[in-house]
A and B are shown apart, each in its own frame.
Chain A
Amino acid sequence: MSARVPFPEQIAAAPEVAERFGDLHPPLDRQAAVPEANRCLYCFDAPCTNACPTHIDVPRFIKKIASGNLSGSARTILDANILGASCSRACPVEVLCEGACVMHRYNKQPIQIARLQRFAMDALHESGAPLPFEPGAETGLSAALVGAGPASLACAAELRRRGIRADLYDARPLPGGLNTYGVAEYKLPLVESLREIEMLAQLGVDFHFETRIDAAGLAELEQKHDAVFLGIGLGAIHQLGVAGEGLPGVTNALDLIAGYKSGSLTTVPNRVVVVGAGNTAIDAAIAAVRLGATDVYIVYRRGPEQMSAFTFEYEHAKNEGVKFFWHVQPTGIRGSKAAEGIELTRLESTDDGSIVPQEGSEFVLEADLIILSIGQATHSGFLSNSSSKSGKIQVERGRIVIDRATGQTSNPKFFAGGDCTNGGREVVDAVADGKRSGVGIAAWLEAQHVAV
């Protein structure tokens, strides 16, 4: 490996951002972690492990914290989830491991699995120990991985542990995809994502940054490599399709989040409107509050029951002072040189259950910054243009179709995972997909070689 500047040293959030986006869940210290670990019942075939997409053996890593075997604990986590530190901070554990904890049925608080996991991972990082895995003996085989987000990283780790070369291609200057650029800083600081990936890089992963892969590029990768993994995520955030959308002062949630995380954006104007009520919209709205906005509204065309944000995210936003406008539809953006407000129309339900604009209910909500967060488009279109020798990659509604157990697409040489296959879920889902694909690629290649 050529000498390069470690990823965490290449970029950092601005100091004022770092200060305003302190840990949402502060770390546990040893004195708190051990008694908490001792609360764990050590369930057999534990529901928390089953709920975790990467099947981290939760009771096992927790018991290792209790026994004082912190390196073993971290290894248990990483063995199942190579982004164990990131996931300990970014996962919506309320609906995953901690949501599944049997303690709920015991009239008790669930075990604080996420904080314990972070405790074990922080201890590993603080110890300065290397990644507790070795790359496998080189097989001479290689795979190209398109995208360097959680899915590809997890896939790459599995490949490297099996002696298969992993070349990752990403359009961004740094690895991690949304894990680095898209998770609210108070959950997962950008530098923590990079620190974890830096560790993973010890397995001998080859990164090719600022490289966008198109149909021709994909054909080239297919030729050069024994398998290709597609971890391309989703594309741009949808547009509203209303007048004024191109004005300065109109942005989207992912750009806002990436901007403040990477240091290019440190402040927002006073009045901010976020369009959409998903988890990303919540992240953007809270970010706007912390970046100095005084009035932050989330506007959504349905009610709180229909929003796609998790309940705990909704509660968090309310606690941060975000206000909600329900049942309104944006119909235009006001402003001459820059956005000055958003035109909204109230919506009402009809007897047949559809929602229609309420006549004469139009109003303008003044805003200096309008952040769109109404879902991401897919960008799998180039796959249908690729002229693969070995067959077509099946795509349905923009999502790449895979065998869930192996990640294999309809073209056997191509595997895929993460948001581009599941429509946009969590980091941990992408890691799980990537892990299964890594194992799937290795198994498929082995079968090919036995056949040859």
Chain B
Amino acid sequence: MSPFKPTLETTFCGIPCLNPFWLASAPPTNCGEQIMRAFDAGWGGAVWKTIGEPITNVSSRYSSIDWEGRRMMGFNNIELISDRPIEVNLQEIAEVKRRYPKHVVIASLMVESKRETWHEIVQRAEDAGADGLELNFGCPHGMSERGMGSAVGQVPEYCEQITGWVKEKARTPVIVKLTPNISDIRIPARAAKRGGADALSAINTINSITGIDLDTFQPNPNVDGKSSHGGYCGPAVKPIALNMVQQIQADAGSVLPLSGIGGIGGWRDAAEFILLGCSTVQVCTAAMHYGYRIVEDMQDGLLNWMAEKGFTTLEDFRGLSLPNVREWKQLNLNYQIVARIHEDLCIGCQLCYTACWDGAHQCIHLDRTSPVPDTTRTPAMVEVEAARKVSTTPIPKLDVGGAKMISTLTPLERIPRVDEHHCVGCNLCSLVCPVENCITMERIDKDIEAESWEERVAKGMVSAGAREVMSTNT
């Protein structure tokens, strides 16, 4: 029996949550029937597909990029906000809240930039029973052409002003959803905070063109031969989202309770967002890909991991990784690692060799069977030698001990050797190696004291010309 009984229950700016897993405002939260099925599957909350004056959508609306046989590594949409009448959405919010009082329903809102219009929609959404409001200042396609969505999120003054109007009226927490289609996410985040936002959610989708059809020369998704820039999401965007989440959380002017969004498809992704300070996470693409059922392992996996780590609540680990993200100038320049190839695990693919020669620092060599280390043998020389070899089919009757090609032992000449004196510890070989733990990065600097660029500058060890000439940290 584990001494820890972890719980996923949490609160988000005052809203009690059964778990941190919310469905993002998107097609999976289009109507009450869907959201109730999602709650049955285990989702703790749902941000309703953005409510506003009903729009007309195009067909088709989605496109994606696949990666080496895996589908939907990146996903893109040009669907607008809800195409359903406002009153239908609001009636269904009331119905869902009546049936699922413990589940979180957030109304995502987008209306024209008029104070009274915002006041009216806020009132109606809260009257319907929404637990909170999410202001969609992030939608990058279509709505932005009409002065809404990211057209608001991209202008800090609008962002602050509209947040302020909403706050004049709202009785429930106000979450501002940020667009990543800006140069610095902290600018609109600070504006939202100045406007009185209770929380933030980030990131919305990223402007994208997913691809061009090489037969028709038309981009995707195809609408009668034409396309338009869409919103990019899915696994591919997670690193971008994590970066922006960290930027917000590390900035005193921006920091607010944050609902993390962007490429989350499993409990590991969720844990990473929480480690960077998020209180809840929102999911869309993964649910569109595999259905609501994915939440089961998100809960199960996160709970098991928490038990293993000794965390009882999400607060126990929320933001734990924030202190570990630093500016480059604060990194230890004396930290030294080198690659070590574990011969017993090496399968002899030599991907590390070619990667090091062409993509890194030419310090992996194929010379284990040479009498002396030979760092002058280039990949081209290896290939020329291989082409000259005469190979034949091993035939049992013609070759003693032949026909036994299959070997579980990698021949020594195929196992690359790292020249540790020249290895810069870049990681590349260990990243390309297909075998887990076959190439490890080993620390060799043990007796050297840590020292950063910042410290070197402070000690006067860096010549004037090489110093920072302009602050890039706004």
Contacts and interface: CB of A to CB of B under 8 A. Distances in A.
Contacts, number: 104
Which of A38, A43, A307, A429: most chain B Cβ within 10 A? A43
B358 to A, nearest CB: 10
B396 interface: yes
Contact of B68 (A38, A44, A55, A405): A38
B393 A426 contact: yes
A318 to B, nearest CB: 17
Contacts of B324: none
B391 A52 contact: yes
Interface residues of B, number: 37
A43 B68 contact: no
A95 B401 CA distance: 12
Nearest to B366: A45
B350 A278 contact: no
Please report whether the interface of chain B is mostly helix, strand, loop or mixed according to DSSP. Answer: loop
A405 B405 CA distance: 23
Interface string A33-57: 0110010011111010111110100
B396 A106 contact: no
Contacts of B395: 308, 424-426
A418 B435 CA distance: 40
Which of A41, A426, A436: most chain B Cβ within 10 A? A41
Contact of A49 (B386, B388, B390): B386
Contacts of B393: 53, 91-92, 95-96, 425-426, 428-429
Contacts of A263: none
B396 A307 contact: yes
Interface residues on A, range: 35 or more
Given A38-B69, A50-B391, A429-B392, A95 B434 contact: no
A404 interface: yes
B408 A278 contact: no
Interface in B234-276: none
A60 to B, nearest CB: 12
Contacts of B383: 45
B414 A95 contact: no
B349 A44 contact: yes
Contact of A55 (B391, B394, B403): B391
Interface of A: 34-35, 38, 41-45, 47, 49-53, 55, 66, 91-92, 94-96, 99-100, 102-106, 278, 307-311, 404-405, 422-426, 428-429, 432, 436
Interface of B: 68-69, 347-351, 353-354, 366, 379, 382-383, 386-398, 403-410, 414, 434-435
23 contacts: A34-B69, A38-B69, A42-B351, A43-B351, A45-B382, A49-B386, A53-B390, A95-B403, A95-B404, A96-B405, A102-B347, A102-B348, A104-B408, A105-B407, A278-B397, A308-B396, A310-B396, A311-B403, A424-B398, A428-B393, A429-B393, A432-B391, A436-B390
Across the A-B interface, the 4 shortest Cβ-Cβ residue pairs: A308-B397, A99-B405, A44-B350, A35-B69
Given A44-B354, A422-B398, 13 more contacts: A38-B69, A53-B392, A95-B405, A99-B406, A103-B347, A105-B347, A105-B407, A105-B409, A307-B396, A309-B396, A424-B398, A425-B395, A432-B391
